[in-house]
Structure 1
Amino acid sequence: MAKTKTYDLICLGGGSAGFNAARLAASLGKRVAIVDGAKELGGLCILKGCMPSKTLLYSAEILHHARHAAQFGLRVRGAAADMQAVHARKRRIIGEFAAYRQRALAGGNFDLHRAFARFVDARTVELSDGTRLAADFFLVGTGSKISVPPVPGLAEAKFWTSDDVLDLDFLPQSVIVLGGGIVACELAQFLRRMGSRVILVQRSRHILRDHSEAASTVVQKAFVDEGIELFAGTQITAIRQDARGTTVEFQHDGRRIVRRAAHLFNALGREPNTAPLNLAAAGVRTRPNGQIVINRWQQTSAPHIYAAGDCSGPAEIVHVAIQQAELAVRHAFGVPGAKPVDYGLLLNVVFTDPQLATVGRLESDLQQRGVAYLAASYPFDDHGKSILMEAKYGYVKVLAEPKRGRILGAEIVGKDAGELIHCFSVAMARRGTVFDMLRAPWYHPTLAEIITYPLEEIADQIRGA
């Protein structure tokens, strides 16, 4: 048997968490390996997530504006999607991103093993090619995979996943979308704007259930206005398929509803991709859904094994995965000044149109914790720049501490919310107040100046207290 090769750190998975952990550890002079057996290197964000979806969404946004140019006094005739051209552009752009990451993986100051790994004990993994590797520390960053929940008929059905929708080179006539999360909403709107008939069936009372009801209601209205047939608060009772397509039967508002489409898109969520790792052999505890249990230092129940990213949560967000992975490395190797990830600064963006973005604490969180706060909001349909842009959906909402006005959180649903939210992100990272933000100049007319109205309202409340 070949001798087991040893490292200071082995990263399982070469996505955002594993790659950045390996890069940091190598810069500290450690012996590092990445193990990744995926057909393509690059991770979910580059290959099948953030970047391809946003490339397609932007194409759909341009088409949407062209088709509605008349509201700006413009004539644009014959605007239509060339799906093969859209697909080719997406492949070219993502290919460039992936090639850059692949060069970084291949040329890094660490070993790259193109195989899958499973633990044989707490210090050793066996690769799918028979090689055995050992390490003082491990970082598990194997991401997530498509979930197939126990919906009647779903497991037996032929359905699309987000991977399939992101790789379409033709325009489907009609699609039933199951789910109301971020992936379901972003890609349902993409399909509708490109020209497909879209029926969205959501189990919860509102789409985007992890966000406020007020914000999700704004996005829902935009979807319905654009022609998406949307059913929220449903219970699916049957899914049937034949040569002509898919039929979904569900209960909605006490009625039996049946809808039929050429294609079915399962967007009911993802689950941690941990089952093949044999984590039990290493003493790593997981939740029933496979999510790895971690502490504030990213350590698992086996203290020398860390986890980061989608496989451990709490948020499936790239910059959070990177923060977690780098924290794990610093903690493992005793780098001075390491601090746990501050989830009080958590950023979240949904790239629907209107976009939905939050930073810090949600209002529901503050209410559940019994934290005192002041709140103020201002609508986009009463703001000059958004009116002239015909970007009238949504609002900006600010949450602040009652005495000094320190920003606790913010919620924006509206045009370019994902860009505007960073105004609050910077202020909150510096523990800024509404007064601090109002000291800055805000140019007129800009979308960003809408932020000043709720800030001024809270400032007035504090001054008048």
Structure 2
Amino acid sequence: MKAYDLLVIGGGSAGYAAARTAADLGKRVAVADGARDLGGLCILRGCMPSKTLLHATEVLHHARKGKTLGLRIPEASVDMKALHRWKVKTIREFADYRVQGLESGRFDLYRGHARFTGPKSVELTDGTTLEAERIFISTGSKVSVPPIPGLAETPHWTSDDVLDLDFVPESVIVLGGGIVACELAQFLRRIGTKVTIIQRSPRLLKEVSESAAAVVEQAFRDEGIQLHTGTKIERIRATAEGVSVKFTQDGKTLVRRAAHLFNALGREPNTAGLNLDAAGVDLNGQGRVTINRWQQTSRRHIYAGGDVCGPHDIVHLAVAQGELAARHAFGVKGLKAIDPDLLLSVVFTDPPLATLGLQEKELTERNIPFLSASYPFDDHGKSILMDATYGYVKLFATADTGRLLGAEIAGTHADSLIHCLTGPLAMKATVHDLLRAPWYHPTLAEILTYPLEEIAELLAARPRK
């Protein structure tokens, strides 16, 4: 049995970050990963392939809208086989770089799934046994198949299948209205597929505010996506032509048919094969590995990071969790836990949504006095001349000093604009600090000055004590 200072189970973003960090500290590290291909969800079946396809279809969408801007573009269409080749080539480069890191010799790499046999020992699928003083669990997540009548028995796609398409489907029913569902539904619509979304919740993207979700819903309807929200699915079945979904909405029973079905009803932590009972590691009510602020599980020498523990399935957080866990495990001094009040999240629809820090609902629930102000893109010079007028920007600040607390952007280039505020938020800047900075005209970023100025005016108008 080989013994290590740290054993990392899963070589994705969180696991690789933990292994790399521990190796930099001079520790003996092993990584066990039994996936068919190395690289992790983000590189192989998540962030990078989806954003490759979304960018391509955004270019296609703008080309088709060229007439609005006075451009003569006779035909704009997709060659799915060529787009697929471009995606495969691009993702292969990212994956190869990760594989090089895993195979660099800085730590031992084992190609097998790990199963706990005790608090400090695991057995791999090939029978190899490993022991470690500390263990980091980063096995990610897998597609969830909820107990909807007929779903398991009906052939359906997952996000893996949609990301690997090399043809234009005639029609697709999308089950779900979360981030993956929305991003890939818009991709499908833009390549020419008839898309119907059936969502259980009253609106799309229940993780964001109602006003932000409404921006995406309007854009989807304008592009011809059929939306059914607030539904209850009664039955799914295969037909000679594809699939049929029977559901209720507003007290009425409806049936929608399509050539294909896309299950985008979420993901669940990938813990089933770990035999966590043997290690004494607890799960929470959502099936995720329970962790504290240092990423420690219920067994303090065992850590976890990434989708397997959450609470947010976001890559930059997974990396931060892996680095924090490794440093804490080996006694690095002066560590700070990940600050949940600095949460940054992006939905890559078009228009995209981005949130940073505390949002209105959280501020209200925590009884934090705050000021807020917003400004619409349809009254902003640069977005008007771009014909990109969906949405708004909204900022939140403390009611006494105007210190930035959070931001919400629903509109063009929100994914990049939000980064104008990440540094100031982390540095506890006020609206006055931000207004002292230069903002070039005409730019999209300039739109942020309007809510900043409004909050500054509200602060100036408050009664003096």
TM-score band, normalised by shorter chain: over 0.9
What is the CA–CA distance in structure 1 between the aligned matches of 2:58 and 2:101, rounded to whole Å? 32
Structure 1 residue 287 displacement after superposition: 2.4
Aligned match of 1:210: 207
What is the CA–CA distance in structure 2 between the aligned matches of 1:168 and 1:288, rounded to whole Å? 35
Bigger Cα displacement from structure 2, 169-178 vs 336-345? 336-345
Aligned match of 1:401: 398
CA displacement, residues 386-419 of structure 1 (integer Å, 9 cap, x when unaligned) = 0000000000000000111011100000000000
Structure 1 residue 242 displacement after superposition: 2.0
Give the secondary-structure state (helix, strand or coil) at the position aligned to 1:209. coil
Aligned match of 2:319: 322
CA displacement, residues 136-186 of structure 1 (integer Å, 9 cap, x when unaligned) = 000000000000011111111110000000000000000000000000000
The runs of 5 or more residues in structure 1 that have no matched partner are none
Q: Is 1:293–2:287 an aligned residue pair?
A: no
Aligned match of 2:455: 458
Q: Is 1:107–2:94 an aligned residue pair?
A: no
Structure 1 residue 288 displacement after superposition: 4.4
Q: Is 1:381–2:409 an aligned residue pair?
A: no
Aligned match of 1:220: 217
Contact kept in structure 2, 1:12 and 1:18, CA below 8 Å:
yes
Aligned match of 2:266: 269
Give the secondary-structure state (helix, strand or coil) at the position aligned to 1:264. strand
Shift in CA distance, 174/324, structure 1 to aligned 2, threshold 3 Å: same
AA at the equivalent of 2:274: L
AA at the equivalent of 1:360: G
Aligned match of 2:198: 201
Bigger Cα displacement from structure 2, 375-384 vs 74-83? 74-83
AA at the equivalent of 1:364: K
AA at the equivalent of 1:149: P
Structure 1 residue 424 displacement after superposition: 1.1
Aligned match of 1:304: 301
AA at the equivalent of 1:350: V
Aligned match of 1:250: 247
What is the count of residue pairs matched by the alignment? 462
What is the CA–CA distance in structure 2 between the aligned matches of 1:378 and 1:280, rounded to whole Å? 52
Give the secondary-structure state (helix, strand or coil) at the position aligned to 1:97. helix
Structure 1 residue 289 displacement after superposition: 4.0
Q: Is 1:138–2:135 an aligned residue pair?
A: yes
What is the CA–CA distance in structure 1 between the aligned matches of 2:65 and 2:251, rounded to whole Å? 37
AA at the equivalent of 2:24: S
Bigger Cα displacement from structure 2, 150-159 vs 26-35? 150-159
AA at the equivalent of 2:160: D
AA at the equivalent of 1:131: T
Q: Is 1:334–2:297 an aligned residue pair?
A: no
AA at the equivalent of 1:439: R
What is the CA–CA distance in structure 1 between the aligned matches of 2:116 and 2:391, rounded to whole Å? 49
Aligned match of 2:188: 191
What is the CA–CA distance in structure 2 between the aligned matches of 1:206 and 1:109, rounded to whole Å? 48
Aligned match of 2:238: 241
CA displacement, residues 232-263 of structure 1 (integer Å, 9 cap, x when unaligned) = 11100010112310000111111111100000
Q: Is 1:11–2:8 an aligned residue pair?
A: yes
Q: Is 1:362–2:359 an aligned residue pair?
A: yes
Contact kept in structure 2, 1:23 and 1:108, CA below 8 Å:
no
Give the secondary-structure state (helix, strand or coil) at the position aligned to 1:403. coil
Give the secondary-structure state (helix, strand or coil) at the position aligned to 2:201. coil
Aligned match of 1:411: 408
CA displacement, residues 177-199 of structure 1 (integer Å, 9 cap, x when unaligned) = 00000000000000001100000
Aligned pair partner of 2:68 in 56, 60, 71: 71
What is the CA–CA distance in structure 1 between the aligned matches of 2:174 and 2:34, rounded to whole Å? 31
AA at the equivalent of 1:83: M
Runs of 4+ in structure 1 off by over 3 angstroms are none
AA at the equivalent of 2:409: I
Give the secondary-structure state (helix, strand or coil) at the position aligned to 1:103. helix
CA displacement, residues 301-320 of structure 1 (integer Å, 9 cap, x when unaligned) = 00000000100011000000
Aligned pair partner of 1:128 in 119, 125, 128: 125
Q: How do 1:52-67 and structure 2 match up within 5 A?
A: 52-67=49-64
Shift in CA distance, 108/374, structure 1 to aligned 2, threshold 3 Å: farther
AA at the equivalent of 1:388: L
CA displacement, residues 355-377 of structure 1 (integer Å, 9 cap, x when unaligned) = 00000011111111111100000
Give RMSD over aligned pairs.
Answer: 0.7
Aligned pair partner of 2:346 in 346, 349, 365: 349
Query: What fraction of aligned residue pairs are identical, expressed as a percent?
Result: 62
AA at the equivalent of 1:205: P
TM-score normalised by structure 2 residue count: 0.99
CA displacement, residues 122-147 of structure 1 (integer Å, 9 cap, x when unaligned) = 01000001010000000000000000
What is the CA–CA distance in structure 1 between the aligned matches of 2:406 and 2:100, rounded to whole Å? 39
Give the secondary-structure state (helix, strand or coil) at the position aligned to 1:286. coil
Give the secondary-structure state (helix, strand or coil) at the position aligned to 2:439. coil
AA at the equivalent of 2:175: L
What is the CA–CA distance in structure 2 between the aligned matches of 1:75 and 1:377, rounded to whole Å? 36
Aligned pair partner of 2:418 in 414, 421, 427: 421
Give the secondary-structure state (helix, strand or coil) at the position aligned to 1:169. coil
Q: Is 1:118–2:102 an aligned residue pair?
A: no
Give the secondary-structure state (helix, strand or coil) at the position aligned to 1:325. helix
Give the secondary-structure state (helix, strand or coil) at the position aligned to 1:285. coil
What is the CA–CA distance in structure 2 between the aligned matches of 1:117 and 1:170, rounded to whole Å? 37
Q: Is 1:156–2:153 an aligned residue pair?
A: yes
TM-score normalised by structure 1 residue count: 0.99
Aligned match of 1:49: 46
What is the CA–CA distance in structure 2 between the aligned matches of 1:421 and 1:338, rounded to whole Å? 26
Structure 1 residue 21 displacement after superposition: 0.5
Aligned match of 1:82: 79
Q: Is 1:232–2:229 an aligned residue pair?
A: yes
Structure 1 residue 290 displacement after superposition: 2.5
Contact kept in structure 2, 1:275 and 1:290, CA below 8 Å:
no
Aligned match of 1:181: 178
Give the secondary-structure state (helix, strand or coil) at the position aligned to 2:213. helix
The runs of 5 or more residues in structure 2 that have no matched partner are none
What is the CA–CA distance in structure 1 between the aligned matches of 2:444 and 2:4, rounded to whole Å? 51
Give the secondary-structure state (helix, strand or coil) at the position aligned to 1:215. helix
Structure 1 residue 108 displacement after superposition: 4.0
